[in-house]
Amino acid sequence: IDGARIDMGHALPAALIQEILTVVRERDPQFIFWSEEFSAKNAAAARECGFNFITGSLWHLYKKHRAAGLQRKLLAESWAAELPVAAAPETADTPRFAWRYRDKRLRELLILLNYFLPNTVPFLNNGLEMAEIQPMNLGLDNTEEGRFVLEATDPLYGKLAFFDRYRLHWLNPDRDWMEELLAKAARLRNRFIATLAAKESFLPEISCGVRARTRGEKKLLFLCYRLRLLGQPPAEGEEREEEKEEKEEGRLFFLANKNLQEPVRINLGELLAGGGETNTSKARVVYARGEERDEEWPAGDGWELAPGEVVIGYTVP
């Protein structure tokens, strides 16, 4: 066992939490403790107690995907937190991801976004990989009616895994699709883990400077990181990445059109330059049109993202 979540960690007496963490870490100093704290504003207090990360509320914010200002709210609950937060499309207490988001384009967008948000720890609730729709519990953001999402003829209709004998729907027709999507997301995250795991690599001034609007609706999600190559941290005394000139740095980028009805056009070079002049002429695209790839795209040309489309890639000096 590598770690444990402290249930209701935000409500337990500080002395009890300290005793639990101290006793365990006397035997295993690397043991990971996860606090069931939902507010990023309380992450600093959780850190002081000795926790490694918190639950956060990304699962709640994802359902506001149509709202303007979504990206800023997500970053306020992830990048701005004093501890990493769980990147959880669902938890054992919430409605199921596959039930809440029926459109596969939106599922793809949110899962990939979930793996590329800064200062996060991706979390898979048992059954997510099978596109299970029946909740395990009704504790968060649900009602008593939420237990009745299966067909009435299903033998598990109305049953909750927390309280009833239950089995997952292993023959769910969306299972293979969801498993492959999660596998793609994990491979892409692992490919850039040196960048994504370093909170200081995220560039909020570029990511939050985007204004892509059509008829007043903001459509574009854009995350930008200072690219770090795996296994190549700066040596002692070596110039830090953030101290290098802009032109010498690569960028990792995540683009998504959250509008499911209309396309959006962007110019990557302008986005990476924060609206100013850029010398970025090309990019390496590793994910687009629903598939992993390894293609060179011109960064100065206009790109059109289809409704719900995600594009992930990077630039190098």
Give the model's pLDDT for residue 235: 43
Give the model's pLDDT for residue 11: 82
Give the model's pLDDT for residue 316: 82
- Whole-model pTM: value is 0.90
CA distance 259 to 219: 5
Mean pLDDT, each 10-residue run in order, the chain (317 residues): 88 90 96 95 94 97 93 96 98 97 98 98 97 97 97 98 97 97 98 96 86 54 89 50 52 96 92 72 95 94 94 91
End-to-end CA distance of the chain: 42
Question: Domains (ranges, CATH) in the chain?
Answer: 3-191 (3.20.20.80), 200-315 (2.60.40.1180)
Tokens of 246: 């802009």
Residue 284 zone, left/alpha/beta (φ > 0; ψ -120 to 50; rest):
beta
Give the model's pLDDT for residue 247: 41
CA 83, 79, 203, 305 dihedral sign is positive
